[in-house]
Amino acid sequence: MKPVGFPPKQGLYDPQFEHDSCGIGFVVNIKGKKSYQIVRNAITVLMNLQHRGACGCEENTGDGAGILIQIPHGFLKKVCGAEGFELPSPRQYGVGMIFLSPDADDLRATVEAFEKIAREEGQTVLGWR
């Protein structure tokens, strides 16, 4: 698929005023059926988005775009068990990705702060991987 860009200036439309930097695409199976083809299609959408995030053009911040998929419960159950903690049933927990400092003191302080805030919000941190 070849990008087409903005339409030419016409009527009240002038492409010089285009400043939208966001875009989104959805590829889903409305019945919740999981498939590799859905992931492939989502990657195709991502490759064809032309906004700042999809281009990954923010080299100084790492801003970019990605795809959101269902939590791979079977995989996580296996690896979390190996880490020493058990997961509840699917849809009974969430997963977060946190970029931590390689410095041991900073890492420990960040984990402690995160866990404190989670407790204050009524949540339980099951474990770290």
pLDDT digits (tens, 9 = 90+) for 89-112: 999 999 998 889 999 999 999 999
22 a catalytic residue:
yes
Q: What is the pLDDT of residue 68?
A: 81
Q: What is the pLDDT of residue 62?
A: 55
Q: What is the pLDDT of residue 100?
A: 93
Q: What is the pLDDT of residue 59?
A: 60
What is the pLDDT of the chain when averaged over all its residues? 84
Mean pLDDT of 74-86: 94
Q: Is 42 helix (H, G, I), strand (E, B) or coil?
A: helix
Q: What is the pLDDT of residue 63?
A: 56
Phi, psi of 116 (to 5 degrees): -65, -45
Number of neighbouring beta carbons within 10 Å of residue 42: 18
Among residues 22, 55, 57, 80, the one annotated as catalytic is 22
Report the percentage of the chain scoring pLDDT > 70: 81
What residue type is 50 in one-letter code?
Q
Please, which pLDDT band fits residue 66 given cuts at 50, 70 and 90? Answer: confident
